[in-house]
Structure 1
Amino acid sequence: MTSTNSTPSRPRGGLADKRRAILAGALTVFARDGYTRASIDAIASTAGVSTRTIYNHFTDKTELFRTVIQESAGRAAEAQIAVIDRHLRKITDLESDLVEFGRDFARPMTAEHAEHFALVRQINAEAGHVPQAVIDAWQETGPLRVRRELAGHLRRWAEQGLLRTDDPDRAALHLMLLIAAGTPPYLVAAPDEREVDEMVTSGVRAFLHGYLA
């Protein structure tokens, strides 16, 4: 007996491809124009889809922006966490290992994540016009996640008696600020390598002066 079930399969691949195209186009437009000035029409044109297709996937521009910044921040966070794990998973000499980590961590990530950090610049420029829920989602997915990962290593060192801190999260924030001062990852031009070395070395020493057991 021939089956009468003729329900067509859902084009999952096509829907996923369109969603990826929308997010890629939206990242380009938001990074260029910012949240306030970006239009759904411009995003649709860049993504090669209709505005109706965008609204089939996202309720409004705010939801689209939140999704874009979360996914983009997540990718950047993964790259930064990889740097943390590569340098700090095993420590042989605390100061020299932290300096090596700092040199890598302070290097601007403009090549692979240029659009993400252009988007971060836009958020910083118009923070008062970006919904707070969107900023919170970005922070939680990106910067705060990276800081928690670094804090985990500092907590382990404190338990081993290498550091003195009862607040590893605050210590992680201090370390990140000290080694990256003047060279945030969203800089357009790469800083002078000698200046980076001097900044990281002095930053690590200042950190250890306050936290070394």
Structure 2
Amino acid sequence: MEISHLTEHSPAMQRGNYQKRCAIITAATAVFVRDGYVGASIDAIADKAGVSRQTIYNQIGDKEKLFAEVVRGINERSSAALVSTLASFPDKPDDLETELTAFAIRMTSNCLCDDDARTLRRLIENEGQRYPELFDAWKDYGPGRDWPAIAARFSRLAQSGAIEADEPELAARQFMALISADLPNEPGRRVAPSQVEAAARNGVKTFLRAFGPRRS
């Protein structure tokens, strides 16, 4: 009888390693949120992931590397969600208030109040002072490196005359602050869709009072 051997480069082995890595990171995220960095242990993470300690060391490394990998993964997913949501920005609106409100709801649901955002806020609250460099990108309502992309959308609205904004980056910051101003400020808490919608409507109304086109 022929016996087939799986090598570390075989597709089946690669899939197995990827699945283990995903399980480890998912488990680590839950344990870091629950226990904090200091309280979390490799044993607890291994138990939750259903793998051995050695598998974690082989796949990722020690606890510090694992924590950095958790944060990196959240940042990458959050940045991708933001880019995807920005693609739906109303560059040429027929009804500015209605379309900005719909966009604000998508932005809040996809980027500010999703599972990754809640997890990251919990980690920042617990570990931000210990590892500030890991959270630098999330100083302002999401990945900091994507602020130019957000400001560019408001610049287009200003150029078209839909809003009046000499400083598009300021307008973007004000917009993001206003649509989240009425949201519950409790890290880890789920926000109801009705709360998201109400915050978006109130925020957009206030934003347009400041940046809407001036009537002659």
TM-score (normalizing by structure 1): 0.76
Find the counterpart in structure 2 of residue 23 from structure 1.
25
**Matched ranges for 1:97-116 at <5 A:** 97-107=99-109, 113-114=114-115
By how many angstroms is 1:137 displaced? 5.2
Find the counterpart in structure 1 of residue 43 from structure 2.
41
**Matched ranges for 1:46-57 at <5 A:** 46-57=48-59
Amino acid at match of 2:93: I
Find the counterpart in structure 2 of residue 117 from structure 1.
118
Structure 1: which 5+ residue stretches go unaligned? 1-7
By how many angstroms is 1:180 displaced? 1.3
Structure 1, 157-166 or 38-47: larger mean CA deviation: 157-166
Identity of matched residues, % = 34
User: Could you report, residue by residue, the CA deviation over 1:57-87 in whole angstroms, capped at 9, with x for unpaired residues?
Assistant: 3343222212212212332343344333235
Structure 1, 49-58 or 83-92: larger mean CA deviation: 83-92
- Kindly tell me: are residues 109 and 26 of structure 1, through their superposed partners in 2, closer, same or farther at Cα, counting changes over 3 Å? same
Find the counterpart in structure 2 of residue 143 from structure 1.
143
TM-score (normalizing by structure 2): 0.75
SS of 2:98's equivalent in the other structure is helix
Work out whether residues 40 and 51 of structure 1, in 8 Å CA contact, stay in contact via their aligned partners in 2.
yes
Amino acid at match of 2:163: L
Structure 2: which 5+ residue stretches go unaligned? 1-6
Which contiguous aligned blocks of 4+ residues in structure 1 show a shift greater than 6 angstroms?
Answer: 108-111
RMSD over equivalenced CA pairs, Å:
3.2
How many positions carry a matched residue from both structures?
202
Residue 198 (structure 2) pairs with residue 190 (structure 1): no
Work out whether residues 154 and 168 of structure 1, in 8 Å CA contact, stay in contact via their aligned partners in 2.
yes
